Amino acid sequence: AVAGCAGRLHSQAMVALAGQAERLSASPARLRRFEACLRLLRRLADGGGSGDLGRLCDSLLAVLRTTAAFALHRGNPEMCVDLHWRLANSYSHTPSLRLTYLRNMAERHAEAGHLSEAAFCAFAGLSPNIEQFEQRFGDDLPQEERDGCSPEGLADLIQQAADLLARAERYELVAPCLRPALAFHEARRDYARQAALYEQCAAACKAVGSTRGKRFLETFYRVGLYGDLFEEKQVFVYKEPGLTRLAELADRLRAVYEARFGADKVTMLTDSGEVDDTKLESGRAYVQITYVQAETSEADGSSRHFVLETPFTRSGERHGSVEDQWRRRTRLTAEAAFPTVVKRLRVIRSEHEDLSPLAVAVLELRAAAAKIRSAAEAEPPDMKRLQMVLQGCLATQVRGWLWSCFGIHARILD
């Protein structure tokens, strides 16, 4: 009974705050007074040993701060989605509000053409991030909130997610997504719905074969935010739709941060190397964007690790002759795996490896061979792509790598 009362208090307080959070955040003075009251209540709760009340105060403060941040980042779509996600998690004891924010996120993603993210907002059961990101509802969930979580509602959300996955051309995920809905309709002996879902699975499986090697789902970029105008140094991996060019993302982010800090305060860094904070001017914002290659899981198509390579020579020059050209490979690990409910994820680990000229040449040859094999084994063979790859293999630059292999090997033998 005590747990039920605590859960009901938490749920009702969050619902009440949801209706007033935007109005409170619009007035800085009113917001500061309300936060001061919550902090005082938090201290009193700690002194009285009331853990439930303390957690409620923390949740209320988190909602207020996140809501207030919307005004600061209104022109930054990635940050706004991140804030919506924080709010959704703040309402973990109030499924109805959490679902409302997830639906809002899905609508925003769908309107912007980010269909994979919209699908994961509708149903994240097929995501490798579920243990890390998803909130578990406690046993003290009020009955009125439990009533809103029905098997029928879940089946409808799964159907919406599957439709979005098909539109996003993530055909491999359609059947796994629909399995829980199929089980539900099997238990109810709803054969008409089962037939419709099996037809949808069959269409997705056929699409996998017919579009193999022809889909360009996303492009990934490392985005570093440096300088004291940002709250802290941050490095993200951004997921952009299709074949988004680096210049497109750079123009968009420049516009976002120039609108926030001023056109004369933003510098776009063109070098992909490590940024030395000590050489940056104070009072400026620096943005560095670099293309990265995803290491995609064959099991579920998810990507959490990314690789970028930067050339260098022992003499300090960026580029040199093929036998002197080294390459630094950087492997980035994101906080979770793409695709997920947001379009960017923080980089939590960065590992470096220096590749010798011989290793670089071998990698180039392997990459060229893989491209030739992929084009030749396509059904039907992709003659246009095969011709382009073969022409590239005969180019002077590529032949140089081949001669580099023989030259370096000869030096070793000598």
Query: Measured between alpha carbons, how far is 363 from 359 in angstroms, rounded to an integer?
Result: 6
Tokens representing 75 are 């022109």
**pLDDT score, position 134:** 52
Residue ending a domain, choose from 332, 355, 378: 355
Strands (E), 209-302: 218-226, 234-241, 266-269, 285-296
**Could you identify the residue written with the tokens 């299709």?**
242
**pLDDT score, position 10:** 63
**pLDDT score, position 399:** 47
**Could you identify the residue written with the tokens 């619902």?**
15
Residues 350, 240, single domain; the answer is: yes
Residue ending a domain, choose from 334, 355, 376: 355
Rg (CA), the chain: 26
**pLDDT score, position 343:** 95
Residues 285, 391, single domain; the answer is: no
Are the CB atoms for 222 and 347 separated by under 8 Å?
yes
Are the CB atoms for 289 and 246 separated by under 8 Å?
yes
Residues 237, 314, single domain; the answer is: yes
In a domain, 25, yes or no: no
**pLDDT score, position 35:** 82
Number of domains into which the chain is organized: 2
Counts of helices then strands in the chain (DSSP H, E) = 15, 7
In a domain, 200, yes or no: no
Q: What is the per-residue pLDDT across 6-38, written as a single tens digit (0 to 9) for each?
A: 566 666 777 677 667 777 777 778 878 888 888
Residues 295, 368, single domain; the answer is: no
| Cα–Cα distances in angstroms (integers) from residue 100 to residues 15, 85, 111, in the given order | 12, 11, 17
**pLDDT score, position 40:** 84
**pLDDT score, position 1:** 43
**pLDDT score, position 263:** 92
Query: Measured between alpha carbons, how far is 70 from 77 in angstroms, rounded to an integer?
Result: 10
pTM: 0.80
Q: Which amino acid is at 176?
A: P
Domain hosting residue 242, numbered range: 218-355
Residues 287, 378, single domain; the answer is: no
Residue ending a domain, choose from 355, 373, 401: 355
Tokens representing 98 are 């959490």
In a domain, 111, yes or no: no
Are the CB atoms for 41 and 53 separated by under 8 Å?
yes
Residues 281, 338, single domain; the answer is: yes
Residue 71 CB neighbours (<10 A): 11
Residues 225, 321, single domain; the answer is: yes
In a domain, 18, yes or no: no
How many CA atoms, within 13 angstroms, populate the side-chain half-sphere of residue 277?
A: 10
**pLDDT score, position 374:** 78
**pLDDT score, position 93:** 73
Residues 288, 383, single domain; the answer is: no
Residues 374, 332, single domain; the answer is: no
In a domain, 312, yes or no: yes
Low-confidence ranges of the chain (pLDDT < 50): 1-3, 147-148, 396, 398-399, 401, 403, 406, 408-414
**pLDDT score, position 412:** 42
Are the CB atoms for 167 and 115 separated by under 8 Å?
yes
Q: What is the per-residue pLDDT across 357-381, written as a single tens digit (0 to 9) for each?
A: 888 888 878 888 888 887 788 777 8
Sequence-ordered alpha helix ranges (H) in 112-263 = 115-122, 130-133, 143-147, 151-167, 174-187, 191-210, 246-261
- In our burial notation (b when 16+ CB lie closer than 10 A, e otherwise), range 337-373 reads bbbbbbbbbebeeeeeeebebbebbeebbeebeebbe
In a domain, 339, yes or no: yes
In a domain, 185, yes or no: no
Tokens representing 148 are 């809103």
Residues 277, 383, single domain; the answer is: no
In a domain, 44, yes or no: no
Residues 226, 351, single domain; the answer is: yes
Residues 383, 291, single domain; the answer is: no
- Residue 271 burial (C-beta neighbours within 10 Å; 0-12, 13-18, 19+): exposed
